[in-house]
């Protein structure tokens, strides 16, 4: 790797670091090119030689958050080997809530951010990775279900938990207690799994 390539890679990483740090601390709304430049020691214009625009840079910062989150969920997955699937899914949901609370600004940025151009595939894949852990657990629990159905249930489960965490922690609608949020999540998870078994006559 040439001097220039190494320098570019270092600079590129420093810019994402700075963006992710500001985003985590002050939120997506407070993120701007000039502060990122100051934080990583370069001029505003320089950032545009490494990233097409601010939106693209945000995608990279968001992907970092997604990978952190995926690691957390996968760790919970591995830790629960051999235990009952519903309990393990509830633990993953709890971990999701904990992550959202501990990394509120960065987590919110994942869903706040909107861009006009289509989202590139590499970033989509980082998102889909979250469904992976859930789908693997579901496969253990629902023997007779085809692959596509399992994917759909996994995404539905994730979406429901996300909705509960999202609206449960929103100041917009009176913040619920962690206890109440967890209760909602567990109700949905157990309900969905039981309903699946009931409709398919498998598992349980």
Partner DNA sequence: ATCGAAAACTGATCGACGATCAATTTTCGA
Partner DNA sequence: TCGAAAATTGATCGTCGATCAGTTTTCGAT
Q: Which residues bind its own copies (CB under 8 A)?
A: 29, 111-112, 114, 118-119, 124, 127-128, 152-153, 155-156, 158-164, 166-168, 171-174, 176, 180, 183-184, 187-188, 190-196, 198-199
Tell me: does residue 117 bind DNA (CB under 7 A).
no
The CB-of-116 to DNA minimum distance in angstroms stands at 10
Among 17, 21, 55, 149, binds DNA (CB under 7 A): 55
The secondary structure of 146-188 as a DSSP string is -HHHHHHHHHHHHHHHHHHHHHHS-GGG-PPPHHHHHHHHHHH
Tell me: does residue 45 bind DNA (CB under 7 A).
yes
SS (HEC) of 42-55: CCHHHHHHHCCCHH
Cβ closer to DNA: 38 or 186? 38
Could you give the CA distance from residue 188 to residue 170 in angstroms, rounded to a whole number? 19
**Within 13 Å and on the Cβ side, how many CA atoms surround 66?**
20
- # binding residues, DNA (CB under 7 A): 24
Ramachandran sector of residue 146 (left: φ over 0; alpha: ψ -120 to 50; beta: rest): beta
Could you give the CA distance from residue 68 to residue 62 in angstroms, rounded to a whole number? 10
Tell me: does residue 74 bind DNA (CB under 7 A).
no
Cβ closer to its own copies: 49 or 194? 194
Contact partner, 53, from its own copies, DNA, none, Cβ < 5-8 Å per class: DNA
- Write out the residues near DNA by the rule CB under 7 A: 2-5, 7-8, 11, 31-35, 41-46, 48-50, 53-55
């Amino acid at each position: 790797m040439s001097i220039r390539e190494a320098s570019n890679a270092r600079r590129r990483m420093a810019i994402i670091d700075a963006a992710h740090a500001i985003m985590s601390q002050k939120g997506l709304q407070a993120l701007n090119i000039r502060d990122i430049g100051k934080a990583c020691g370069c001029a505003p214009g320089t950032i545009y030689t490494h990233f097409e625009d601010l939106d693209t840079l945000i995608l990279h910062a968001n992907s970092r958050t997604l990978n952190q989150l995926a690691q957390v969920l996968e760790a919970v997955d591995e830790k629960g080997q051999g235990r009952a699937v519903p309990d393990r899914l509830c633990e993953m949901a709890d971990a999701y809530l904990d992550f959202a609370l501990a990394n509120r600004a960065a987590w919110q940025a994942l869903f706040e951010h909107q861009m006009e151009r289509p989202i590139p595939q590499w970033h989509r894949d980082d998102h889909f990775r979250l469904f992976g852990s859930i789908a693997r657990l579901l496969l253990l629990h629902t023997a007779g279900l085809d692959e596509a159905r399992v994917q759909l249930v996994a995404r539905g489960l994730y979406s429901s938990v996300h909705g509960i965490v999202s609206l449960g922690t929103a100041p917009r609608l009176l913040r619920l207690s962690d206890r109440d949020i967890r209760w909602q999540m567990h109700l949905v998870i157990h309900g969905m799994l039981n309903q699946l078994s009931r409709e398919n006559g498998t598992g349980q």
